[in-house]
Structure 1
Amino acid sequence: MVDPNVAERIKQDLSGSDVVLYMKGTPVFPQCGFSAAVVQVLSHVGVKFKGINILEDPGLRQGLKDFSNWPTFPQLYVKGELVGGCDIVREMYENGELQQLLADKGIATGANA
């Protein structure tokens, strides 16, 4: 069960930005290879995103696992929907699905971001 305060914070995070990455560390200083890989993919695509460091808040870290029913980090959300973690994001990027998802959701990428 997600703590109501944590659930509210997650909802605010997700409604405040089109693309949110819950990660270990920050986009400038990722603290795990998986988080770094997703930051790199998002940078290649050229999409603006909000990075949230889950290492700073154990309650948020556990709350996200319960909220998303996804046990690992990073977790990428687009327009409030969980896309997945590192392997899924990397695979989607490599086969063009990530770029298509962003386009379908009306999110600017590349030179348009």
Structure 2
Amino acid sequence: MSDAQTQIDQLVKSNDIVLFMKGNASFPMCGFSGRAIQILKACGVDTKTVKTVNVLEDEGIRQGIKTYSSWPTIPQLYVKGEFIGGSDIMMEMYESGELQQVINGQA
């Protein structure tokens, strides 16, 4: 496991909600990352409690997260160590009510 993989693994396992994104919760740097933050807010999540990782600041993390999850795009959401998906999957899960259940520990 590379240093980036180890760092990603620690982030995912030590935070309840982790969002690997471009930018941060206050200043998303792409539309998909912005949408991911809005979906979390719509689920009642205080975005100050979300661990956001700006992949633009670390190329190792930016490439490493794609390998870690076997998912090619950013953003990527993890809840309680489990990979949820990108903004499209987050939106589908939000619309069905499933994302709120996962975040609130009911799933």
TM, length-normalised to structure 1: 0.86
Q: Which has the larger radius of gyration?
A: 1
Is 1:80 the counterpart of 2:78 in the alignment? no
**Superposed displacement of residue 104, structure 1:** 3.0
Alpha-carbon RMSD across the aligned residues, in angstroms, is 1.4
Count of residues in Structure 1 that have an aligned counterpart in Structure 2: 104
Alignment of structure 1 residues 1-113 onto 2, 5 Å: 4-47=2-45, 48-104=49-105
Query: What runs of 5+ residues in structure 2 fail to find an aligned partner?
Result: none
Give % identity: 51
Q: In the aligned structure 2, how far is the partner of 1:17 from the partner of 1:66? A: 20
Secondary structure of residue in 1 paired with 2:40: helix
Secondary structure of residue in 2 paired with 1:104: coil
Deviations 1:35-75 (A, max 9, x none): 00010010121223111100000111111111110000000
Secondary structure of residue in 1 paired with 2:84: strand
- In the TM superposition, structure 1's runs of 4+ consecutive aligned residues that sit over 3 Å from their partners are none
